[in-house]
Each structure stands twice: as structure tokens, then as C-alpha cells.
Amino acid sequence: MGMSTPTSLPLNARPLVTGFYEKRTNSVQYVVADPETRKCAVIDPVLDFDPKSGATATASADRLLAHIEREGYVPEWILDTHPHADHFSAADYLKERTGALTAIGEKIVEVQKLWKSIYNWPDSFPTDGSHWDKLFADGERFKIGSLDVEVMFTPGHTLASVTYVVGDAAFIHDTIFMPDAGTARADFPGGSARALWQSIQRIMALPDDTRLFTGHDYMPGGREPQWESTVAQQRRENKHLVKARSEEEFVEIREARDRELPMPKLILHALQVNICGGRLPEPESNGKRYLKVPLNALDDAPWGDA
């Protein structure tokens, strides 16, 4: 694939990282700040959505804004690691509020093409990633204040997933969860357990003391939410990585587990928002916005209440 692991970033740089747990979707949002310049980025912000009532709200994203204001940070970036299947992205809302640039990995264009077909959207719908200000290629670098950031293409959970390596911290989204929860599913349209294994190997090749920040925590055993680990801890303790010592073993374990998992409750709702940079559908003639839910679009998806 020609992909390489970041080796030349100044990993002694230590960003200020604050995680915000969103309990409705078990998601973790991040504010990542440069202590020197007070510039910051938001990673994977959540726009609140209640599928029972169809109501949307901005309480989760407003928590991030309040923290940014309290700390005196200046937002530069609003970053999504991938098009989420279990919550709406608040990227567009936060861009309106802050003027910060929005960004995601460049393979989002492939996800747009895939889901444009699933939703039977018109030919006029753009599949060029223009809903974001910036699309990042594998290995591309940018800055948060004085902090260097490198983008790692880490597909598997989705075909567009990226990891952001910021100094000694890596934001690894839905690749690896906390060690007691294992790894992320890879059975969504465009997902691949084999690609996920290869992406995990890239992350595990980072320095042992790299701080890893995951995108979700489902609180195994009823413990409190957690979202920070290290490369060394994951290599030593992750229940899937300890059990699967080879790619073939991992693919077997991951695919067997995925066959038992029902689709996320919001996948058909969320993708039509998230492949548009967090923009809700345009209002119709009565001023109301409508989501489009295709029936029988996800072949062989298990039934379930989850």
C-alpha cells in the first residue's frame, strides 16, 4: 500500500487533551490544544439526535464550546476521524460558531459514492468531499498552533478512517477500544477486518508511550467510561490483540463477532448527515427537514434490539 508509520514527528510535544463522554451514543469528543499558543482542534464532535422524537440539539457540542471559552483556546480545526454510523457529526454547527476549518480523510469521497447509491440521491449530489474545507491524504501534515500533526490512513472500520497523531497523542477513533473491550467492528459497507488488522499494526508501531484516545467506550462490566491508553498497554492487554497473534486469527475472530452484532440504531440516519460534513438535509417546502431511511438496504444485517 506504500503506507508508512510516522517516525519523524516531535513526539516529545505533549498536547493538552480533554475528552467529553457523550452517554447517549457512548462517544468521546475531544478538544486538543497547544499549550504554547492556545490554539486547538475539536475531534469527532457530536450533534445530539433523538430518534424517537426526531429532535436535534447542540448540548454536547456546546459543552466543547464552553470548555474552549473557559480555557481561552482559539479553535483552528474541526476534525472528523471518519463518517460515523452511530451519531451525527456537529462539524457544521461548530464551523458556524467558530469559523474553524473542517477536515476529514480524503477517502470520504469513496464513502460518499457508496452511500449516494444506497440513498438513491440525484446525480447533482457532489461526491468530491467539498462539504469539508480540507481532505487529508495518508502521511499529510498540518499544524494545531505550533504542534505538528500527521494523518495516518487507518481503514477497516470504514474505508475512509484516519488517525490523527498529535505529538505524543494519537486519536485512533474506531480501531481499538480500551483493552477490556478489544477492537472495533468492520462489517459496515466498505469495512474490512483485514484492513482493520493492518491499520492496528500501524498504530501499534508508534512509540510505546504514545497516548491513544479512542472514539467510544461501552463500559464493559459496568465500569466508568474510559478512553485513554498507551500503545504498550494495548499490545500487552487488548483482549483481541492478545488472542489473535496473526492476521488470519484476527480476521476470524473479528468477522465471527461482527456476524452477531446488530447494525447501530442510527446508521441509516447518521450517514446521510455525516457524509455531508454534519449538514442536516435542506428544509422542504414546509420548512421542515426530513431524513431518508432506505428499507432493506443493508444485506444480511442481523436483527436485534441494540
Determine the pLDDT at residue 1. 41
- Listed residue (26, 81, 89) closest to 280, CA to CA: 89
Distance CA 207, CA 148 (A): 16
Determine the pLDDT at residue 306. 45
Q: Which amino acid is at 211?
A: R
Determine the pLDDT at residue 305. 54
Q: pLDDT, tens digit, for every residue of 265-276?
A: 899 999 999 999
Mean pLDDT of 93-114: 98
Q: pLDDT, tens digit, for every residue of 174-228?
A: 999 999 999 999 999 899 999 999 999 999 999 999 999 999 999 999 999 999 9
Per-domain boundaries in the chain: 16-272
Q: Is pLDDT at 9 greater than 80 in this prediction?
A: no
Print the SS3 string covering 196-252.
HHHHHHHHHCCCCCCEEEECECCCHHHCCCCCEEEHHHHHHHCHHHHHCCCHHHHHH
Determine the pLDDT at residue 8. 47
- Contact criterion met (CB below 8 Å) for 152 and 202: yes
Distance CA 251, CA 249 (A): 6
- Listed residue (271, 167, 258, 160) closest to 211, CA to CA: 167
Which class does domain 16-272 fall in? alpha beta
Q: pLDDT, tens digit, for every residue of 45-58?
A: 999 999 999 999 99
Q: Which residue has the higher pLDDT, 160 or 297?
A: 160
Give the H or E element holding residue 116. helix 108-119
